[in-house]
Chain A
Amino acid sequence: MKKTQTSFNIETREIFKRLFGENTMLTEQLNRLLNDTTALIDSAGDTKTLYGIRVAVLGKNGSLTGILRGLKDLKNEERPVAGKLANDVRETIERELAQKEERLSDEEMERRLLYEKVDLTLDKKPFIVGKIHPLNAVLKKSVAFFVGLGFRVEESREIETVYYNFDALNTAPDHPARDAQDTFFITQDILLRSQTSTGQIRVMEKTRPPIRIISPGRVYRSDEADATHTPCFNQIEGLVVDKGVTMCDLKAVLESYAKFLFSDCTKIRFRPSYFPFTEPSVEVDASCPACHGSGCRICKGTGWIEILGAGMVNRNVLKGVGIDSDVYTGYAFGMGLNRITAIIHGITDARVPFEGDVRFLKQF
């Protein structure tokens, strides 16, 4: 800044000397004005002062404007030189003003920014995004998994006839599972489905193989609510019927599902069991996701947790819906999702998810 000013002064003085000699009044005036203004600009501390200088020098009634106005009284030969000189002075002042203004406004912005500082350790109102219920979330996640494997989603009714819940599923009238202790009845013939397997029959009645469906939904058992039971819970039923379907196919699908649910190192095992609508029937255990098989509180020391029931579709069930059981075979599986959800999230009381306590819901 200083350097520019010095070189300008020398330059201006030279021109003045050449044209008007040392003591020409106009030269003197401009020279003084330039020096005074430059000094003022230099000392200005804020943009407001700077604006005042601009008005005082370059404004309508400004000192330089007055000098410029006086140029018209000069002699013809003097006017172009004096005009050029005055213009140079004006440009110089303009430039000085602009430079100083940029510097000052930058400084002022810096100050303002500092002034705008907030304490970011503070919080105001939280931004609340609601959440899907954990029971539903695991159901949705599971549905998405099976859809990815090519399963179609077929949901089914909750209030059902005895036929779909029992008879069509090869559960004879004197079968213990038909005991009123397990099933909620509405009339002799109408009940709350105790399993999503009812969906199998409804699908097979209207679809011919190949069939590859899952049927998620709510089921009911007349269990008093306690830490491990609730009278309603979510299930997912799976059903595949086609030529050449075997139990090894079932194992592959369930293995992938268990790994998807828990982790890649999850193993599954089949244990013999019994369901009227499958034969052979198995109970499927997954290696405990908490201890990976070494035994802990969650798996009650066994290293395994029971996750679902499965099997090859009973020939009688296929016959009942008119599918040739000599040509087609199938597998089916059904799992209670509440327990799986509880295991995944470490929920120790089955009733808590049904309480709707916001402090619970916010955790997921």
Chain B
Amino acid sequence: MKVTLNWLNEYVKIDDLSVDFIKDKLLNIGLEVESAIYLGQDIDKVFTCKITEMHKHPKTDKLFVCLVDIGADEKIQIVTGATNIKAEDMSCVVLDGGRLPGKAIGTADFKGEISHGMLCSGAELRITNAVIDGAEDDGLLILPPDTPVGMDIKRFLGLNDYVLDVAVTANRGDCHSVYGIARELAVTLNRELKPLALDYEVCERRAKTRQSHDIAVITKDKKLCPMYQGAVISDIAIRPSPLWLRRRLWACGHSCRNNIVDITNYVLLEVGQPLHAFDLTAIEGDINVRTAAKNEKITALDGIVYDLDENMMLIADDKKALAIAGIMGGEFSGISENTTAVFLESARFARGSVRQTSRALGLRSDSSSRFEKGVDYFSVETGRERALALIDELNAGKIRCNLIEDKAEIPKEKVLDIKYAQFKQILGINVPRKAIKEILTRLSFKVEEITPKSPAMDHPAPPPRPLSEMSSWGTPREGNEEAFVGTPPREGNPQSSAADLNSTLHSPLSTLTPTSSLRVTVPLFREDIDNFTDLIEEVVRFYGYDKLRGTRYKSGIGQSGGISKRRENINKIEEICCAAGAFEINNFSFIPARHLDMLCLPEDDKLCKAIRLINPISEDCAFMRTQLLSSMLETIRRNQARQNEDFALFEIDNVFIADSLPLETLPQENLTLCVGFCQKGKDIFDVKAFAAALIEEFTKEFEFAPICPTDKPFLHPLIGCEIRLFTQGKAGEKEKLASEKGGDNSGISTGYFGKIHPKTAKNFEIKGDVYILELNLEPLLGMEKPPVRFVPLPKFPSVERDFAVTIDAGRPAGEIVAIVKNADKLIKNVEIFDIYTGEQAGEGKKSIAFKVTLLNREKTMTEGEINAVCEKVVLDLAAAGARLR
């Protein structure tokens, strides 16, 4: 919301205060000033002037020598190159030593003619056509003929003013107006809020002309349009608005068109009420506020034809649509130079309806965005009154009829009861009763003390004040020496003894026995006030949050907090990844559709069932991740492109797995780990060892099985493993599975590791070998690892024996290890130390050499026992086709 200090000053005196002071005051009551721009910044010694003489420079055709009158005794000689000006024109001059934005002006010699300054353009003063017609044209600024001579241009154009951009919170529709902000400012400054000028004269009705004011207003749906007011003005003289009005509209970012349209915009800014002016001659019959018919169309002021639907509200006459309610007028019903009579609309449309229609049509306007923020009953009335007063003041027309309306029953002013003790209950401090009453009163709430025995419902609510009375409500009491504003915060709080603190701490609100309560009547423009906590907020906003004193760790003592098991496990995984030299990355949760193709996934792959956003910020961020791999590869690519080499990265984040698409139920969110190794000298065995170490932190019941290449098309078909977990508590399941070849359906596949397929690498423009591990962490995070039971260290020495066998070259060495491990229970470890293929191993064979460690925890093994085990090993190997070398 943009307001200027001068405009505010019209309603609350602030011209003696600095802009920083005002900014602070507004901030403290919840109105943050996002920017404060001085319109006259860097403009100095610029005055209005009259060109009294102008002739060509004697030595050049391109320059003119002028004498200008700035009201001083002597005329000033100025040299200019501009051609849009002539003698007798009004313009403005920067005198020697003056400034314009970006330049300092001095006296200069132009081929023998001295220029004691410079005539300047509208652009140099940063003004637009909104303030002065033609200000944006090339050449010098030409001011109206009646401009006083020698006036400081900043005063003349209203540049000696600040424009504040005030952030208004979503609940405060009433503060989207100069008057709304002035009202708040008046309370916090403890100054008088001056009433809006609402005086105007209603002219006699002229008989029997349909210049006409006997228009009726009919609103069909009082929910969509609970209040519609109109007025009829005749004898309209369309002309430019006066400068004071134009410069305010301009300062607040509006353009200026003509007196009638400008007045509606002025009222929108000042009172916060969107108004619309219809050319009366365009209205056939009565005003109907209705929803659009099926397939109904309207050409709006912007010249575009809009297709409407039955949910959209229209302003229509008996024959046709005139405007899209609250959003934009129709092309043919607007104000033109020839308009002589006007129907002025001031209405309240349901904010949801305006919002939906605006969004559906893709059409926004100052009016629609104002309606979306919430317009109240008070502003409908006040806005119309204020517009009429301005029309009267500017002699823009004759008011023939000041009020034609159709409305629902207007809700009464809300009446809320609040106990004094409730302030302490919510805020934790006592607010002096005097301050409470005073703040609320000055905020236009009506406040009366009530005795505790009369509950709110038995008490007849005071009759609502008629709207017409409300124009003069806001005058606060004056000269109150003991006002709360500006009193320093008290150190400590005499009213809160320890006993008091205790009782309020432990007694529920309902059982408090208040010594007294307040009955508060809420003004109509404060629709945000619903219950006593809202009133508390109103009071503390002005009383000051700085009076709250932190009560350290009071509540909740004795409760045990704690990190969740899940978090603890995540921490552990992060630590392991860091120990492996990997750096954590943080990608967006979105991926583009092309990532799935780049991973070479077939269309029906479950990873392709990615959830799409309705309103993504771009196609690159349109889908929710079903895997972390593609963003990992993207990050690797980015690093390589930036000449980063030799690194490992990891990410832990959710992937989103839909049961069906389009989404009907909430999808699974699986916390997933992805590690990418791009380090020199790293190979698949390093990754395998890492995977094993990581999972063993949680369970020993897992297996690495060969991947199915069609399942993981992004991996090297032969360098990759699937990670399978076995349900906890079923010991031996793993062994059972290992003995059954190809037991694909056992164990839960929770992830994989492997080398990235060269094709995928190419798709992602990745150089070199990249190894990836991706693991769904959910099964691990849910695991409750039982406390470790200590196994006593062996008291007897272990014995090692080396073996070497030959097997078929294609056979995995792991089979031999498994056979040896199972040969005898004394075998504690089997470790391969050499694999040899070559002549001596034989054609199509390989030799595997391994060390077997035997351990008996009960006694020292005898040579006989050891030999027996070794023989069993040889026997089992032979049975499996492995020949001892």
Count of chain B residues with a beta carbon within 8 Å of a chain A beta carbon: 97
Chain A contacts with B in 137-154, Cβ cutoff 8 A: 140, 143-144, 146-154
Give every chain A residue within 8 A of B585 (Cβ-Cβ).
Answer: 133, 356, 361
B579 touching A129, Cβ below 8 Å: yes
Q: What's the minimum C-beta distance from A253 to chain B, rounded to whole angstroms?
A: 8
How distant is the Cα of A49 from the Cα of B671 in the complex, in angstroms? 72
Give every chain B residue within 8 A of A131 (Cβ-Cβ).
Answer: 578, 583-584
With A146-B561, A279-B537 as known contacts, state yes or no: A252 contacts B578, CB within 8 Å: no
B584 touching A271, Cβ below 8 Å: no
Q: Please pick, from B372, B555, B624, the residue contacting A249 in the complex, using a CB distance under 8 A.
A: B555
With A136-B584, A184-B613 as known contacts, state yes or no: A159 contacts B639, CB within 8 Å: no
Closest residue of B by beta carbon distance from A172: B352
Give every chain A residue within 8 A of B531 (Cβ-Cβ).
Answer: 279, 315
Q: Please pick, from A187, A218, A220, the residue contacting B662 in the complex, using a CB distance under 8 A.
A: A187
Q: What's the minimum C-beta distance from B360 to chain A, rounded to whole angstroms?
A: 11
Closest residue of B by beta carbon distance from A325: B509
Q: Please pick, from A212, A256, A326, A359, the residue contacting B508 in the complex, using a CB distance under 8 A.
A: A326
A279 touching B533, Cβ below 8 Å: yes
Closest residue of A by beta carbon distance from B676: A356
Interface code A188-229, partner B: CB below 8 Å = 1, 0 otherwise? 001010000000000000000010100000101011110000
Give every chain B residue within 8 A of A153 (Cβ-Cβ).
Answer: 562-564, 567
Stretch in A20-28, A101-109, A238-246 with 4+ CB within 8 Å of B: A238-246
B29 touching A248, Cβ below 8 Å: no
Stretch in A64-72, A82-90, A174-182, A286-294 with 4+ CB within 8 Å of B: A174-182
Chain B contacts with A in 624-676, Cβ cutoff 8 A: 624, 635, 638-639, 642, 644, 647-650, 653-654, 656, 662-663, 666-667, 669
Instruction: Report if B475 contacts A (CB, 8 A).
Output: no
Q: Please pick, from B171, B614, B648, B650, the residue contacting A186 in the complex, using a CB distance under 8 A.
A: B614
A359 touching B426, Cβ below 8 Å: no
Q: What's the minimum C-beta distance from A316 to chain B, rounded to whole angstroms?
A: 8
A224 touching B617, Cβ below 8 Å: yes
Give every chain A residue within 8 A of B561 (Cβ-Cβ).
Answer: 146-152, 212
B666 touching A160, Cβ below 8 Å: yes
Count of chain A residues with a beta carbon within 8 Å of a chain B beta carbon: 93
A130 touching B580, Cβ below 8 Å: yes
Q: What's the minimum C-beta distance from B205 to chain A, rounded to whole angstroms?
A: 40
Chain A contacts with B in 280-306, Cβ cutoff 8 A: 280-283
Instruction: Report if A37 contacts B (CB, 8 A).
Output: no
Give every chain B residue within 8 A of A152 (Cβ-Cβ).
Answer: 561-562, 564
Give every chain A residue within 8 A of B745 (Cβ-Cβ).
Answer: none
With A315-B533, A358-B639, A358-B649 as known contacts, state yes or no: A274 contacts B169, CB within 8 Å: yes
Chain A contacts with B in 344-363, Cβ cutoff 8 A: 353-359, 361-362
Q: Please pick, from A132, A180, A192, A212, the residue contacting B574 in the complex, using a CB distance under 8 A.
A: A132
Instruction: Report if B763 contacts A (CB, 8 A).
Output: no
A130 touching B650, Cβ below 8 Å: yes
How distant is the Cα of A220 from the Cα of B611 in the complex, in angstroms? 15
B666 touching A161, Cβ below 8 Å: yes
Instruction: Report if A31 contacts B (CB, 8 A).
Output: no
Stretch in B210-218, B539-547, B692-700 with 4+ CB within 8 Å of A: B539-547
How distant is the Cα of A87 from the Cα of B9 in the complex, in angstroms? 122
Instruction: Report if B355 contacts A (CB, 8 A).
Output: yes
A190 touching B663, Cβ below 8 Å: yes
Chain A contacts with B in 241-275, Cβ cutoff 8 A: 242-249, 251-253, 255-256, 269-274
Q: Please pick, from B578, B590, B663, the residue contacting A231 in the complex, using a CB distance under 8 A.
A: B590
A246 touching B170, Cβ below 8 Å: no
Instruction: Report if A135 contacts B (CB, 8 A).
Output: yes
Q: Among B372, B647, B662, find the residue whose CB has the most chain A CB atoms closer than 10 A.
A: B647
Give every chain B residue within 8 A of A232 (Cβ-Cβ).
Answer: 588-590
Closest residue of A by beta carbon distance from B588: A232
With A159-B611, A356-B585 as known contacts, state yes or no: A314 contacts B555, CB within 8 Å: no
Give every chain A residue within 8 A of B293 (Cβ-Cβ).
Answer: none
Instruction: Report if A329 contacts B (CB, 8 A).
Output: yes
With A130-B584, A232-B589, A280-B426 as known contacts, state yes or no: A159 contacts B669, CB within 8 Å: yes
With A186-B612, A187-B663 as known contacts, state yes or no: A147 contacts B563, CB within 8 Å: yes
Q: What's the minimum C-beta distance from A185 to chain B, rounded to whole angstroms?
A: 4
Give every chain B residue within 8 A of A186 (Cβ-Cβ).
Answer: 611-614, 624, 663
Q: Please pick, from A155, A218, A220, A354, the residue contacting B566 in the complex, using a CB distance under 8 A.
A: A155
Instruction: Report if B487 contacts A (CB, 8 A).
Output: no
Give every chain B residue within 8 A of A155 (Cβ-Cβ).
Answer: 564, 566-567
A256 touching B587, Cβ below 8 Å: no
How distant is the Cα of A55 from the Cα of B611 in the complex, in angstroms? 88
Chain A contacts with B in 38-62, Cβ cutoff 8 A: none
Please give the residue numbers on chain B whose beta carbons come within 8 Å of chain A beta carbons, in ascending order.
27-30, 32, 169-172, 350-352, 355, 359, 372-373, 424-429, 504-506, 508-510, 531, 533-534, 536-537, 540-541, 545-546, 548-557, 559-564, 566-567, 571, 574, 577-590, 611-617, 621, 624, 635, 638-639, 642, 644, 647-650, 653-654, 656, 662-663, 666-667, 669
29 pairs of residues in contact across A and B, judged by CB atoms under 8 Å:
A130-B582, A132-B578, A146-B561, A158-B654, A159-B666, A176-B372, A176-B373, A177-B170, A192-B624, A212-B559, A218-B653, A218-B654, A220-B589, A222-B616, A231-B588, A231-B617, A246-B424, A248-B429, A251-B551, A270-B545, A273-B169, A274-B172, A312-B533, A329-B426, A353-B586, A356-B635, A356-B638, A357-B644, A361-B584
Please give the residue numbers on chain A whose beta carbons come within 8 Å of chain B beta carbons, in ascending order.
128-133, 135-136, 140, 143-144, 146-155, 157-161, 173-177, 179-180, 184-187, 190, 192, 210, 212, 218, 220, 222-225, 230-232, 240, 242-249, 251-253, 255-256, 269-274, 276, 279-283, 312, 314-315, 324, 326-329, 353-359, 361-362
16 additional A-B residue pairs with CB within 8 Å, beyond A246-B424, A272-B30: A132-B574, A133-B585, A150-B557, A174-B351, A180-B614, A240-B555, A242-B556, A244-B506, A245-B555, A251-B549, A251-B550, A252-B550, A279-B531, A354-B588, A356-B649, A361-B584
Give the top 10 A-B pairs by smallest Cβ distance, nearest first: A246-B428, A272-B30, A248-B428, A252-B550, A174-B352, A274-B169, A280-B537, A270-B545, A356-B585, A130-B578
